[in-house]
Structure 1
C-alpha cells in the first residue's frame, strides 16, 4: 500500500478554490441568462488560460 497517497492532493485544493472564486466572480458579473449559463464553463477553463498566459509571458510566445 502507498504510504503517501495524499501528498498530491494540494493541487486539487488550489484548483478547487480557484474554481469557486472564479465561479463566484462570473456569477456576480452576469447580467443575462446566458452569462449565468456560461459562468461554470468559464470558471472551469479560467485556470488553464491563466497558466497559458503566464507561461507565454515568461517564455515569450
Structure 2
C-alpha cells in the first residue's frame, strides 16, 4: 500500500490488487464443483454436503497424485 498526501495533507491509502482474474477462475471452479456434487443428491443436505465437498476436493486430488508418485 502506498500512502500519498493530498493538498490538504490528509493521508490517502492506495490499494491495488492484481488477483481478480485468479479469484474469478477459482470461484468458477468452486461453483462448478458444487453443481457437479449437488447433481448426485438433490436434497437440502445434499446441497450442504456438495458445498463442503467443493471446498475439500482439491486436497484429495493432490493426495492421490502424490500417492501415485510414491511420495
Task: State TM-score, norm by structure 2.
Answer: 0.56
- Structure label with greater radius of gyration: 2
Higher relative contact order (CA 8 A, sep 6+): 1
Q: After superposition, where does 1:38-49 map in structure 2 within 5 Å?
A: 38-49=49-60
Q: Tell me the C-alpha RMSD between the 2 structures.
A: 2.8
Please identify which structure carries the higher helix content.
1
Which structure 2 segments of 5+ residues have no match? 3-13
Which structure 1 segments of 5+ residues have no match? none
Aligned structure 1 segments of 4 or more residues deviating by more than 2 angstroms = 8-11, 31-37, 47-54, 57-60
Task: State TM-score, norm by structure 1.
Answer: 0.62
Between the two proteins, the alignment pairs up a number of residues equal to: 59
